Amino acid sequence: MNKKSIKDVDFAGKRVLMRVDFNVPLDKSLKITDDNRIQAALPTISYVLNRNGKLILMSHLGRPKGEKRPEFSLKPTAERLSELLKVPVKMLDDCIGGKVKQAASNMDDGIVLMLENLRFHEEETDNDPKFAKELASLGDIFVNDAFGTCHRAHASTEGVTHYLESASGFLVEKEIGYFQKVLTGAEKPFVFILGGAKVADKIPVIENMMEKADSILIGGAMAYTFLKAKGVDIGSSRVEDKMIDTVNKILDKAKSKGVDILLPIDHIVTDCIETANHVNPTPDENIPVGWIGVDIGQKTIELYKERLLQAKTIVWNGPVGIFENDKFATGTKTLAIAIANSGATSVIGGGDTAAAVSKFGVANKMSHISTGGGASLEYLEGKALPGIAALSDK
């Protein structure tokens, strides 16, 4: 994708309007519990500041739905960023208006401005042209470093590009690079692991991956819909009955294309997810009446590991069990370690999968962990992301 990156732009003396993803988790006292998204933006922020750019940051936080609500203020992120950068970050009380424009016009060197939550205005998610133009008037150049919002055509991701020269930050550039590599030039064998809860959300990505991958390994709750479609007993496991016909078509299409779709051949099951007092392995792919599948079993782990250790490219979206509970985490943990030790190019997509590789201590051994759940899934579906498509061409 031939889009401008920040390395193609001269920032000296210019006001740089930058979209970041500071949608961080806060506790009840409004303290940040995980600052990874702020840390991830530091290379791009530092690059602009080191080249004498005047930086104006904008982000959303939570879903205030057009209301100015103090619990969704970006003030905690401005304070944390100031600590990390060791420079003052001036928090404004809005993202548009006369006071905001005046602050942007009279910026002192070495000070970073942080606009208040974009989603305090409904016009942000509506991609309102007037709102986008007002945001754009604050800067001379626009930089998008918020990959997690690039699948949304919002005022701060797509709208502003109609008024300003625009470029990707390092985070977005890295995401583009890895996803383009796996979608257009993946080294073979290419293994795609798909987990999580809903089949309905994943059909477009399965269809696109059938054109790219040699093997698709399926786990998580969505596997039980696939198994039921094949006539396997799934006990009381979660199932999407309305998707059975669609799943059968997917399996037929994969067979005709020579793409292996591997499903669990055994399971870890429980009679109650909440208490987990009784947890057992099954001898085969069938789950007894009254029992719920919560993880892949040991035979499945070995089968999937064998494919992973042969792979040159691995893309993983969605855990294969309820990994948050250690009793149901063995499958996800073992696959995470196998991928880390495989030597393959490994791309991790989706917030839950990123949390899993972090929990099991192998995040630093993955080639790339995507910062955008919905954005990474849509990229894997083969969709054009509005926030990337709108950036200036080189």
| Predicted confidence (pLDDT) per residue in 201-253, tens digit | 899 999 999 999 999 999 999 999 999 999 999 999 999 999 999 999 999 99
Q: Which one is catalytic: 90, 198, 299, 365?
A: 198
Q: Which one is catalytic: 62, 66, 374, 382?
A: 374
Same domain? For 231 and 368 the reply is yes
Same domain? For 277 and 365 the reply is yes
- 389 within domain boundaries: no
Q: Which one is catalytic: 62, 66, 351, 382?
A: 351
Q: Measure Cα distances from 144 to 121, 169, 271 in Å.
A: 20, 6, 47
Same domain? For 339 and 374 the reply is yes
Alpha helices in the chain (DSSP H): 36-50, 75-85, 98-105, 122-125, 129-136, 170-184, 203-209, 222-229, 244-257, 298-310, 330-340, 351-359, 373-380, 386-389
Query: Which of 171, 197, 213 finishes a domain?
Result: 171
In terms of pLDDT, which residue wins out, 36 or 97? 97
- 386 within domain boundaries: no
- 385 within domain boundaries: no
What CATH number is attached to the domain comprising 108? 3.40.50.1260
Kind of pairing, strands 313-317 and 190-194?
Answer: parallel
Strand-pair partners of 58: 19
Q: Is the pLDDT of residue 109 over 80?
A: no
Is 374 annotated as catalytic?
yes
What average pLDDT does the structure give for the chain? 94
Q: Which one is catalytic: 15, 37, 212, 333?
A: 37
Q: Quick one: tokens of 216? A: 């698709």
**What percentage of the chain exceeds 70 in pLDDT?**
100
Instruction: Count up the domains in the chain and report the number.
Output: 2
How many DSSP H helices and E strands does the chain contain?
A: 14, 15
- 1 within domain boundaries: no
The Cα 239–Cα 198 span in angstroms is 9
Q: What is the mean pLDDT of residues 3-12?
A: 94
Q: What is the mean pLDDT of residues 103-117?
A: 92
- 31 within domain boundaries: yes
Same domain? For 54 and 134 the reply is yes
Same domain? For 161 and 199 the reply is no
Q: What is the mean pLDDT of residues 39-53?
A: 95
Same domain? For 149 and 200 the reply is no
Q: What's phi and psi for 294, nearest 5 deg?
A: -130, -10
Query: Which of 145, 171, 197 finishes a domain?
Result: 171
Q: What's the pLDDT at 275?
A: 94
- 391 within domain boundaries: no
Kind of pairing, strands 292-296 and 267-270?
Answer: antiparallel
The Cα 254–Cα 240 span in angstroms is 20
Lowest mean pLDDT among 284-288, 300-304, 370-374: 370-374
- 393 within domain boundaries: no
The Cα 158–Cα 118 span in angstroms is 14
Cβ–Cβ < 8 Å for 158, 386: yes
Same domain? For 188 and 230 the reply is yes
- SS3 at position 269: strand
Same domain? For 44 and 150 the reply is yes
- 167 within domain boundaries: yes
Is 198 annotated as catalytic?
yes
Q: What is the CA radius of gyration of the chain?
A: 23
Is 98 annotated as catalytic?
no
Query: Which of 153, 171, 189 finishes a domain?
Result: 171
Q: Quick one: tokens of 300? A: 């499945």
Is 14 annotated as catalytic?
no
Q: Quick one: tokens of 273? A: 């997810």
Nearby residues of 10 by Cβ (< 8 Å), 6 or more positions away: 51
Per-position DSSP letters for 138-186, written without gaps between them = T-SEEEE--GGGTTS--TTTTGGGGTSEEEE-HHHHHHHHHHHHHHHSP
Between helix 36-50 and helix 170-184 the angle, nearest 10°, is: 110
Q: Quick one: tokens of 345? A: 């190019």
Q: What is the mean pLDDT of residues 272-276?
A: 94
Same domain? For 104 and 162 the reply is yes
Amino acid sitting at position 43: P
Considering 8-12, 131-135, 348-352, the range whose residues carry the highest mean pLDDT is: 131-135
Q: Exposure of 109 by Cβ count < 10 A (0-12 exposed, 13-18 middle, 19+ buried)?
A: exposed
Task: Report CA 177 to chain centroid distance, whole Å.
Answer: 15
Amino acid sitting at position 243: M
The Cα 316–Cα 304 span in angstroms is 12
Domain region containing 142: 6-171
Q: Name the pLDDT band for 15 (thresholds 50, 70, 90).
A: very high
Query: Token pair 């940040």 is at which residue?
Result: 32
Same domain? For 10 and 120 the reply is yes
Same domain? For 246 and 109 the reply is no
Q: Is the pLDDT of residue 1 over 70?
A: no
Same domain? For 45 and 155 the reply is yes
The Cα 92–Cα 113 span in angstroms is 7
Cα dihedral sign, 261-267-269-274: negative
Strand-pair partners of 3: 393
